[in-house]
Amino acid sequence: MASISKTITNEHRQLEKCFNEITSSSDHDHQERFGNQFTWELARHSIAEELIVYPAFEKYMGSKGHQMAEDDRKAHHQVKEMLKEFQNMSPEDANYVPKLKELWGSLSKHIEEEESRDLPALEAAMEPGDSETMSKSFERTKMFVPTRSHPSAGESPPFETAMGLLAAPMDRIADMFRKFPQDA
């Protein structure tokens, strides 16, 4: 079974793969498919972190964890705002790839801090087995959250949870009409 660090790191690599697929292609259909996949992955990942991982920072690391969670929530809010712009763009738009690169610039800094500082500190503070349990919870949570960015929903439970549960079905219906990579 995977630790929460391994689960999150694997998702970061999946986001990076989607980013590279979009930025290395000039085929608009390919960019659209991977753009939708990138949005879908990042929206679900971000909300699951906010609902599962950030409260764990606070639970296991006290005031230091609270500050880490607050810093990460701020970073997520910036990323969600940029994702909201990107998700509503078309690959035919001249700003599509530049907007994604801008988003990736902020996101990659957040990913680096999370992987080098936040997740190791969380793993060190937890009891044996907690990391695997949290990883399972993280994966389950992603099944119920929105698949698009809705930064106006807020970043803190329970408000985000309630808003997300309202937005998720609408996102999933719209996803049925979006193009995704064939192997996704």
3-state helix, strand, coil in the chain (%, to 5): 80, 0, 20
Check: CB of residue 47 under 8 Å from CB of residue 164: yes
Look at 26-30, 40-44, 70-74, 165-169 and tell me which has the smallest mean pLDDT: 165-169
- For residue 23, CA distances in Å to 27, 59, 72, 96, 142 come to 10, 39, 26, 10, 26
> Span 4-12, mean pLDDT?
97
| Global confidence as pTM | 0.87
Look at 2-6, 28-32, 47-51, 140-144 and tell me which has the smallest mean pLDDT: 140-144
pLDDT band at 158 (very low <50, low <70, confident <90, very high): very low
Look at 81-85, 105-109, 138-142, 178-182 and tell me which has the smallest mean pLDDT: 178-182
> Span 132-144, mean pLDDT?
92
Check: CB of residue 151 under 8 Å from CB of residue 167: no
> Span 100-121, mean pLDDT?
96
Q: Which residues fall within 8 angstroms of residue 54, CB to CB, at 6 or more apart?
A: 68, 69, 72, 73
Neighbours of 92 (CB within 10 A): 9
Domain definitions of the chain by residue range: 4-175
Instruction: Give CATH for domain 4-175.
Output: 1.20.120
pLDDT digits (tens, 9 = 90+) for 38-83: 999 999 999 899 889 999 999 999 999 999 999 999 998 899 899 9
